[in-house]
Amino acid sequence: MREEKWVFFFGKGRAEGDASMRDLLGGKGANLHEMTRLGIPVPPGFTISTQACVYYLEKEGWPPGLENQVKEHMTRLEEVMGRGFGHKNHPLLVSVRSGARVSMPGMMDTILNLGLNDESVEGLALVTDNPRFAYDSYRRLLQMFGEVVRGIPHQRFEHQLEEVKRAGGLTQDVELTAQDLSEVIERYKEVFQREGASFPQEPWEQLREAIEAVFRSWNNERARTYRRIHDIPDHWGTAVNIQAMVFGNLGEDSGTGVCFTRNPATGEKGLFGEFLPNAQGEDVVAGIRTPLSISGLCEWMPQVYQELVDLAQLLERHYRDMQDMEFTIERGKLYILQTRSGKRTVRAAIRIAVEMVEEGIIDRATALLRVDPEQLRQILHPDIDPSAVYCVIAQGLPASPGAASGKAVFSAQEAEEWAARGEKVILVRQETSPEDIGGMDAAQGILTARGGITSHAAVVARGMGKCCVVGCDALIINEEEGYFLAEGVRINRGEIITLNGSTGEVIQGEVPLVEADPGPYFNRLMEWADSVRTLKVRANVDTPENAVLARKLGAEGIGLCRTEHMFFEKDRINVVREMILAETTQERKKALTQLLPMQKEDFKGIFRAMEGLPVTIRLLDPPLHEFLPKTLQEIEAFSRERGIPLEKVQEKVTRLHEFNPMLGLRGCRLGILFPEIYQMQVRAIFEAACELVKEGVDVRPEVMVPLVAHVKEMRILRDLIEKEALAVMKEQGVKVGYLIGTMIELPRAALTADEIAQEAEFFSFGTNDLTQTTLGISRDDAAKFLPQYVEMGIYSKNPFSCLEEEGVGQLIETGVVKGRNTRHNIKLGICGEHGGDPTSIRFCHRMGLDYVSCSPFRIPTARLAAAQARVREDLMKWEEEAA
Amino acid sequence: MREEKWVFFFGKGRAEGDASMRDLLGGKGANLHEMTRLGIPVPPGFTISTQACVYYLEKEGWPPGLENQVKEHMTRLEEVMGRGFGHKNHPLLVSVRSGARVSMPGMMDTILNLGLNDESVEGLALVTDNPRFAYDSYRRLLQMFGEVVRGIPHQRFEHQLEEVKRAGGLTQDVELTAQDLSEVIERYKEVFQREGASFPQEPWEQLREAIEAVFRSWNNERARTYRRIHDIPDHWGTAVNIQAMVFGNLGEDSGTGVCFTRNPATGEKGLFGEFLPNAQGEDVVAGIRTPLSISGLCEWMPQVYQELVDLAQLLERHYRDMQDMEFTIERGKLYILQTRSGKRTVRAAIRIAVEMVEEGIIDRATALLRVDPEQLRQILHPDIDPSAVYCVIAQGLPASPGAASGKAVFSAQEAEEWAARGEKVILVRQETSPEDIGGMDAAQGILTARGGITSHAAVVARGMGKCCVVGCDALIINEEEGYFLAEGVRINRGEIITLNGSTGEVIQGEVPLVEADPGPYFNRLMEWADSVRTLKVRANVDTPENAVLARKLGAEGIGLCRTEHMFFEKDRINVVREMILAETTQERKKALTQLLPMQKEDFKGIFRAMEGLPVTIRLLDPPLHEFLPKTLQEIEAFSRERGIPLEKVQEKVTRLHEFNPMLGLRGCRLGILFPEIYQMQVRAIFEAACELVKEGVDVRPEVMVPLVAHVKEMRILRDLIEKEALAVMKEQGVKVGYLIGTMIELPRAALTADEIAQEAEFFSFGTNDLTQTTLGISRDDAAKFLPQYVEMGIYSKNPFSCLEEEGVGQLIETGVVKGRNTRHNIKLGICGEHGGDPTSIRFCHRMGLDYVSCSPFRIPTARLAAAQARVREDLMKWEEEAA
């Protein structure tokens, strides 16, 4: 019987494996083989297969033949490298790395410099003419071997290193001399002794034990837990990669560097990078010598430079993407240690993608996939200058993107007053309330200590397109005295702070910003996106100004116009409150009559801005107590102003209090209990529409009922809406085409979508609330445990940012299927926060929705994500057809 | 072509229709035909089919032949009755009634005495020798015809009647003389004139218009709305029943009465009822003459009495149930006007059911269906004496059944002090909190102004089996000064009130109560129930005492033991608070160590009481802030007592505040963030179990993880539980069989039950929370709109009392199917409030669950309901097989 092949060689342009052998060679191994095949000069080596690992763990011993195969391949490696494993003068050193099918934290990572011992370290010192390097390499081997193979705690070694540094009055590792390192080596050996462990001087013994340690690390507790959580089968096992080490510090014909195939900041074509002659990769990172620009290499070693240029082109064409390469020149011979797709700014990503299409390297579909839609907002908002250095004093939730600097103020009134005299201000509040609208509008940015990414402050700020950081728990804010404390730093009223709404950072002082400027490459890419995507993109918008902005950013209608935000405006909120405090329907109607013309004017502005496009207006949704004054002062002020007895206001506030307002008297429940509220809103919509139709404007209202759980709610309210709409159109003598539909935002609505579709011409999935109820998580309270949940991998992402597909998605699918079953042409969309999230948009595309709706500055993101979803779908179809 | 048959005759022992012809003759019509066929002497008449109505409404005219058929049948009726329709001396009077397939409010009900006019009223006066009766009959005809056929508002007629009464100084209708009524008739005619309407003197014209009015009433707005909400098709139409009127006041050989075939209060066999000679049914109701006992009839008209006895037996045997009959004797001839199953007390229902089985009238299965499980609690708790008269001053929610009287006290301390000196007290609170436990225990009953049927007060009271009324909104309670106001009545500290926890009534003063005594018939019935049912019944119980009680009431294990209730006890709550306030895991563990022995003792008591039966223990579930002191006083007291700085307590309370605690940091989220809490609880469970096993006790713990949404939560906690359980068993050197499972109480859990079942050996559907999240309704806030929703028919019942099957039930079904798919022998149960609701239990049986779990006093209800579910299922199977 032939013995099984456990070991696979790569080197000198030939490899026994390739990229397709991921299961057997692990991800890292398969890539090393692939690069070698391409003719890329990677340091040679060999891979022990995952099957060997599985055998070892099952049978608790080496598989038959493995030892011989390792020896044979090491011999081959020695030949290729011209050095001997364990040779005292010219030692061949190797690295040993684990590598499973998928990258997996918790497993053994790396042992470097394996093959060194007390004897060969001296040989290495001689041959490199660099004793410091040789001793440092040996010291690292000792430490890594001790930790990984012998399980000696990390601190034992670190402690000794610190001791030596302290003795020498040193603070940095790089300051250690060869002699110091020699001392460290001795101390490390004592650590081994004290721990009752040995460090094998015999390189073969080192290798044997390192390989076994990698095998065993597959089953250590952290790795097992990780697999259990991520559903990775235990029987996969890990491969082991053994690769020759090369050195760039063997003299003046050696060196090391990193380079990009295009400029990662701007996207401009051409080799971009830096290198250091006679140096190791580590030296570049440590920054003790200033690296030369890559063009310096051209002068110094023109052939090597040309080889690098050729390899860069080869790699770019092969991987069809801009590459970030690490290289080492060992005695005139170029090695590519690593190549990977290069990280780049979004600006560069766009330019590279567009230019690569022009160069014929990639097609448009691929170009569309090359830009992270999530990052587009960086070029739509002012951003912190990437080169700026600044001091972050607190971290909150990134609620509305962009950056802004201004003087800290602690009340809406202050914000308005200071802004009126030309000051730039940042409004800092415990949390915002409807009264603060004016101040929020006047401020450059908003910072709150409480609330989640869908709190009042966050929602309003996104609507305004204004930078906002919320839920910054660490802040201790004293609004009365006008200061806040953050991690010991005190910021007084009038001191400048800067917010980064894209990251949630709160920064002391002013920071230079760069203005938004998407540029011509962006426009080209967006055109391509629009021509590909099938999913329409609408905007969540509540004001005429934002409707104009949204249209400019590419909105194809409004998917969610929240009428309640109109109620919050300064001159209206008190009328709204009178409406709520009304004791009789008559009184309530009186207040509603005052609101009618205000709402109508808003609707007219919005309809006009969206001429020819659909506008979905949601009837009143939030619990009424949200509109009432909250603090005693606010209550007193309101009582005084409107001449309503204090006790009456207080009693109503108490009476409207809810334990779980999310699940309380809100949404269509308001419309059913107080039909006159919805009647007023419907009247405002249709009076606005009729008046515009008379002016010749093409108006397309879609009236949306929130929080429906039962078809009967929808039936009752549909009757109400139709009746009122008809009455208005009759009065005005004009006909307006319109739709009536509902949010699907409760599990019961999705589960009974077949019935609800009898009464609804469109569904808009309200994924914020649907996520809250399906998962049983209140967004506003989630900060107490959701971050830990995501960290532990229970949910892979925050389900309020990225749609949770298995549960919430299952309900959406039920809603889509059942809805279409009843009404085949039902219009389907999504209007939660997820409407602007690329992964969620991909899901929406897969579900066959008609549109997504998101806040204005998210629209380009959604357009690109929708195009990507379509491209990915096509790719999958091709793959299926090919298979 | 033969003309369609629209009219169907019944009378003289023969009928053209029968009970099966409900669709054509309507419910009421089909029953009249059936009774006639049985030989029951019902007043004869005829039915116009629903098809005639449909034709009339569609074609807007009478169907061809209907008029002739009506005339023919009227002639037949005249012959049978020996009177003439419109005859001036011996007028045949008829009633006209609508009757659709199902009973439907909103449609026209009844016109009586049709056929009278100015002339024949005199004939009737003569022939009955009762002018007052004749005029009153005519006056009623005028009014009913005016209202129903002519649409004249009710008040117009009532106003005239009042005028005449006022003029005569009368207060009651019965005081009106013949002359007065004659005056009323004249005034009624003027009403017709003023309204521009006519009253047809021609009886045929009366009949024609009355029939059309019934037809049209099918389409009036109230009827249409009702159909729309209840999904009744518009094309059904209504039938019209025309029936001869008979009179018991035509002399000394006439009379009228009502009787039951058995005693409706006790169930004793034998005719029971009363009658009045020479009188009309109305006279019995009006109470102007004292009716005679039914035995009086035996002396007065022995033959008629014997006929009635025979008919009673016939009807009881035919309908196989105790009957409530209305009869009239017209000139020696007995007519049965109506028979229906008689209403009875639950005590009577049980006895009748059991005795009818013994008499061979019904089988055991039918007997089981004859008792309303819901009413069983009436005989398990003290109840208000049915004969008592009392003054209800407020109405709250019936949170825990039974009745109790006592002196009102307004704090837990007062309750304990007063009870200690032998006073019976009722604890009246705004809402209760954990501190009140002692006072609640000391009180006879609990009354709160806030909170729903699952508030703290309600849950604790049910656990204690103590009468409780909650959410009594109308109360204005002043706890400090010690009084409350209810609808203007002021109750001071120490004044006696009575609560009815089964109805929610709050009563001023003391009311006589009857003690609980289920009796021998009850035990027989429950034996039958237990032998039939397949669904097991467990108890929701948190204390050893209640476990004993539950077992006595028939519990077959514990389905839900809420460990947090143990935390609320006086001597423990402060330790719990210290645990919550702990800044480090170390500090928290210290507090937990104090709690461990306490929990262990509880578990031992419960395990012992439930020896040999499964005990499901739920790990900590509620948000931690529920345990913290709430008011400033409580906070100060706690801070003082335990020497913890006030600010620290306050800060923690603020920090733990949640916007929607229902959806916040609770359930297994606590166990994941603070594993040491669950570790302590698991340790307490297994130390208790091991110690008992050593004593030879058969212990069967089932550890239940609450609020799981994702299989990964379950995986992490399953690992934790197993590890701790194993550790304890190893320490103790004992093995205990146990299960680990979870609540399914979030939509996501039900939707991914296939995955969760990988880690759970049982599911317990937590339908309280599942209803809250599926429907998006917070129980605690639902009182603001849910009553109106139920009234409007949006939900047919309160979904927190009776499981909402379409949405919540759909999720349970998904959970059952997916759960069994993964683990075919997974144990399935339900432990929400619905576990004790008969309709919900039927659903659970249909879903194939293994058990339901409910509070102890609900157990007999659940046992009977489970038996009924099984019986109904068998019936359906037989029907299917027969078909």
For A696-751, where are the E strands, in sequence order?
700-705, 739-744
Q: A286 falls in which pLDDT band (50, 70, 90)?
A: low
A477-489 pLDDT, tens per residue?
A: 988 889 999 888 9
The confidence score (pLDDT) of residue B424 equals 93
B83-138 pLDDT, tens per residue?
A: 999 999 889 999 999 999 987 776 777 898 999 999 999 999 998 888 988 998 99
A780 neighbourhood in chain B, CB within 8 Å = 658-660
The confidence score (pLDDT) of residue B123 equals 92
Q: B1 falls in which pLDDT band (50, 70, 90)?
A: very low
Could you give the CA distance from residue B384 to residue B499 in angstroms, rounded to a whole number?
9
The residue-averaged pLDDT of A553-573 equals 87
B250-305 pLDDT, tens per residue?
A: 778 889 988 999 998 889 999 998 888 888 766 665 555 778 888 888 888 999 99
Q: Does B317 touch chain A (CB under 8 A)?
A: no
B658 neighbourhood in chain A, CB within 8 Å = 778, 780-781, 784
B393 CA to centre of own chain? 22
Q: Could B662 and A664 be called an inter-chain contact, meaning their C-beta atoms sit closer than 8 Å?
A: no
Highest mean pLDDT of the ranges A5-9, A292-296, A409-413, B782-786 = A5-9
Q: Of the residues A259, A472, A561, A831, which is catalytic?
A: A831
Burial B500-532 (b: 16+ CB within 10 A, else e): bbbbbbbbbeebebbeeebeebbebbbebbeeb
Q: Please report where in the chains the tokens 């205990």 appear, as a residue.
A: B736
Q: Search chain B and give the residue with CA nearest A710.
A: B794
Shortest Cα distance from A584 to chain B (angstroms)? 16
Out of B716, B778, B804, whose CB is closest to A664? B778
Q: Of the residues B831, B844, B845, B854, which is catalytic?
A: B831
Q: Does B759 touch chain A (CB under 8 A)?
A: no
- Amino acid identity of residue B399, one-letter, is A
Q: Could A775 and B746 be called an inter-chain contact, meaning their C-beta atoms sit closer than 8 Å?
A: yes
Q: Of the residues A456, A565, A834, A845, which is catalytic?
A: A456
A584-607 pLDDT, tens per residue?
A: 888 889 999 999 999 999 999 999
Q: Is the dihedral of CA B23, B27, B33, B37 positive or negative?
A: positive
Q: Does A658 touch chain B (CB under 8 A)?
A: yes
The residue-averaged pLDDT of B715-728 equals 97
Q: Does B197 touch chain A (CB under 8 A)?
A: no
Could you give the CA distance from residue B136 to residue B132 in angstroms, rounded to a whole number?
6
The residue-averaged pLDDT of A187-192 equals 96
> How many CA atoms lie within 13 Å of B191's alpha carbon, on the beta-carbon side?
25
B880 CA to centre of own chain? 29
CB pairs under 8 A between A and B: 173
Q: Could B710 and A795 be called an inter-chain contact, meaning their C-beta atoms sit closer than 8 Å?
A: yes
Q: Does B664 touch chain A (CB under 8 A)?
A: yes
Q: Search chain B and give the residue with CA nearest A474.
A: B655
Shortest Cα distance from A559 to chain B (angstroms)? 23
Under a CB-based contact definition with an 8 Å cutoff, are residues A288 and A166 in contact? no
Under a CB-based contact definition with an 8 Å cutoff, are residues A506 and A396 in contact? yes
Q: Is B456 a catalytic residue?
A: yes
Q: Considering only CA atoms, which of B27, B19, B74, B26 is closest in space to residue B51?
A: B26
For B79-149, where are the E strands, in sequence order?
94-99, 110-114
Could you give the CA distance from residue A164 to residue A187 in angstroms, rounded to a whole number?
9
Could you give the CA distance from residue B552 to residue B194 in angstroms, rounded to a whole number?
71
The confidence score (pLDDT) of residue A201 equals 95
The residue-averaged pLDDT of B356-380 equals 92
Q: Please report where in the chains the tokens 């308001």 appear, as a residue.
A: A670
Shortest Cα distance from B428 to chain A (angstroms)? 19
The confidence score (pLDDT) of residue A224 equals 85
Q: In what order do the strands lie in the sheet with B476-478?
A: B476-478, B483-486, B489-492
Mean pLDDT for all residues in chain A: 91
Which chain B residues in 793-822 lie under 8 Å from chain A, judged by CB atoms? Answer: 793-795, 804, 806-808, 810-811
Q: Is A456 a catalytic residue?
A: yes
Mean pLDDT for all residues in chain B: 91
Q: Does B665 touch chain A (CB under 8 A)?
A: yes
- Is residue A282 scored above 70 in pLDDT? no
Q: Does B200 touch chain A (CB under 8 A)?
A: no
The confidence score (pLDDT) of residue B285 equals 59
Under a CB-based contact definition with an 8 Å cutoff, are residues B443 and B755 in contact? no
- Is residue A1 scored above 60 in pLDDT? no
A205 CA to centre of own chain? 45
B698-716 pLDDT, tens per residue?
A: 999 999 999 999 999 999 9
Q: Could A659 and B662 be called an inter-chain contact, meaning their C-beta atoms sit closer than 8 Å?
A: yes
Tokens describing residue A682: 């419907």
Out of A715, A746, A772, whose CB is closest to B663? A772
- Is residue A335 scored above 80 in pLDDT? yes
Q: Does B752 touch chain A (CB under 8 A)?
A: yes
Q: Could A712 and B772 be called an inter-chain contact, meaning their C-beta atoms sit closer than 8 Å?
A: no
The structure's pTM equals 0.79
Which chain B residues in 762-781 lie under 8 Å from chain A, judged by CB atoms? Answer: 769, 772-778, 780-781
Q: Could B747 and A774 be called an inter-chain contact, meaning their C-beta atoms sit closer than 8 Å?
A: yes
A631-665 pLDDT, tens per residue?
A: 788 888 888 888 888 888 888 888 888 889 999 99
Could you give the CA distance from residue A269 to residue A266 in angstroms, rounded to a whole number?
9
B785 neighbourhood in chain A, CB within 8 Å = 665, 669, 672-673
Q: Does A505 touch chain B (CB under 8 A)?
A: no
Which three-class secondary structure state does DSSP give residue B56?
Answer: helix
B793 neighbourhood in chain A, CB within 8 Å = 712
Q: Search chain B and give the residue with CA nearest A669.
A: B785
Q: Search chain A and give the residue with CA nearest B707.
A: A776
Q: Does B232 touch chain A (CB under 8 A)?
A: no
The confidence score (pLDDT) of residue A513 equals 87
Q: Which of A231, A431, A717, A751 to mutate to test the interface with B (most CBs of B within 10 A)?
A: A751
- Is residue A215 scored above 60 in pLDDT? yes
